[in-house]
């Protein structure tokens, strides 16, 4: 039986303290209209994403199965939140802001173990890290 989702899904790294803290903030401030789930407790195959991609970046999966990763996932999350957040999300989807957001997201992802709420488990290390398991698509 096919899963017919009616809401988007945000997938994050549940082993990362920084990511978990960020999701807590999102739940408090953004009042999400979507599902939030840790990749470790999610049937990624049912969402149409690989484990490698979910280890590399946060993911936003639309009800129709379109997958956005990294800064684009954050932009889609904010755009779906409504109000002022939707404006921020829309701005983050337009060049050159999209390119800057991508660079900032990658810098945060590679240094999340050093940020507030981060722990050594947050580090993207060789063997677990993005360069070893997933090559992201080029930005348009």
* Structure confidence by residue, pLDDT tens digits, 108-135: 888 887 877 776 767 765 444 444 444 4
Res 55: pLDDT: 87
Res 89: pLDDT: 94
pLDDT tens digit sequence for 37-93: 999 999 999 999 999 999 889 999 999 999 999 999 999 999 988 889 899 999 999
**Is there a cis peptide before residue 10, judged by omega within 30 degrees of 0?**
no
Contact 134, 50 (CB under 8 A): yes
Weakest-pLDDT range from 20-34, 79-93, 94-108: 20-34
Res 136: pLDDT: 52
Q: With cut-offs at 50, 70 and 90, classify the pLDDT of residue 28.
A: confident
H-state helical runs in 1-140: 17-29, 44-47, 51-56, 71-81, 83-91, 97-111, 130-133
* Sequence ranges of the domains in the chain: 9-129
Q: Does the pLDDT value for residue 11 go beyond 80?
A: yes
HSE on the CB side for 138, CA within 13 Å? Answer: 1
Residue 57 CB burial class (10 angstroms; 0-12, 13-18, ≥19): buried
Q: Which residue has the tokens 């002022």?
A: 84
Q: Does the pLDDT value for residue 25 go beyond 70?
A: yes
């Amino acid at each position: 039986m096919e899963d017919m989702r009616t809401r988007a899904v945000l997938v994050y790294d549940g082993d990362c303290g920084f990511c978990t803290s960020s999701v807590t903030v999102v739940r408090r401030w953004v009042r999400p209209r979507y599902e939030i789930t840790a990749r470790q407790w999610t049937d990624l195959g049912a969402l149409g994403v690989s484990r490698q991609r979910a280890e590399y970046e946060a993911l936003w999966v639309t009800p129709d199965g379109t997958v956005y990763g990294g800064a684009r996932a954050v932009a889609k999350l904010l755009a779906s939140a409504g109000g002022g957040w939707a404006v921020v999300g829309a701005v983050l989807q337009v060049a050159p802001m999209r390119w800057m957001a991508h660079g900032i997201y990658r810098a945060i992802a590679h240094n999340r173990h050093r940020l507030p709420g981060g722990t050594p488990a947050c580090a993207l290390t060789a063997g677990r890290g993005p360069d070893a398991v997933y090559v992201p698509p080029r930005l348009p």
